[in-house]
Amino acid sequence: MAQYDQIAKPYDELMGDTGDIPHTFLINPLMSSSLPKEKDLTVLDLGCGNGYWTKLLAKKYKKVVGIDNSQNLIKIAKNKRQLSNIEYKLVEIETDFPFANDSFDLIFSNMVIHYIKNLIKLTEELYRIIKPNGLIIFSFAHPIFESTKNQSLKSTKTRTPYKTSTLGGSAELTLQYEPLDLIIKKFLNSGFKLVQQKDAIIPADLAKKYPRYQDYIGLPRAAILIFKKN
């Protein structure tokens, strides 16, 4: 996202080619196990960041387009994680996408949609650009985890901005909180069918590696949702 422009370099150093500790041990395995087995797919990596997932997807599928609205992250992705079947684009994710109808077999997004203000607009655009029977697989900050960290969010019933720290507390980002059932409803209202939900539960052994999770053992750190275009 554009707010990542100021922290693009330390973010890339943290995530590298595999993701940080929570991604590597908690979120990425669930995302990987959700990917379709077919190889001849055209994929959109929505909010590709430094491109580490884009490159992983490109090793598995025919073509991958990685988009992000952080110019600095797109530069890093192009410089460090480019393959012949990858195309990186600087795209404002909250506007109309520069893609034709029915362009992608799979839309993948890792920990991105909690930054999106207008989720209805996004779901409508995703429905437009994905092919019939195409899949969307995305992860995002689980509302239960976020409302446990920030008690003021517990009574919130609409999409609401809030601040959170990152990079060991050295930077601050604005996220969007919304109850999980309302997020799912927006995708359903746009015409998608919910295929599966997976929750990335924080285990005790991860808290040992990542002490900031010590008070959140047993809570879902992220939600992974899989939708299909009817």
156 falls within a domain: no
Indicate whether 1 pLDDT > 80.
no
Provide CB contacts within 8 A for 113, sequence distance 6+: 47, 119, 122, 138, 140, 183
Question: Number of folded domains in the chain?
Answer: 1
* Residue pointed to by tokens 């604005």: 174
Q: Which pTM was predicted?
A: 0.95
164 falls within a domain: no
Give the separation between CA 157 and CA 160, rounded to whole angstroms.
Answer: 8
User: Which tokens hold the place of 165?
Assistant: 């720290």
Q: What is the pLDDT of residues 93-146, one digit of tens each?
A: 999 999 999 999 999 999 999 999 999 999 999 999 999 999 999 999 999 999
Q: For residue 95, what is the domain's CATH number? A: 3.40.50.150
171 falls within a domain: no
What pLDDT is recorded for position 169?
66
102 falls within a domain: yes
169 falls within a domain: no
Q: What is the pLDDT of residues 54-73, one digit of tens each?
A: 999 999 999 999 999 999 99
111 falls within a domain: yes
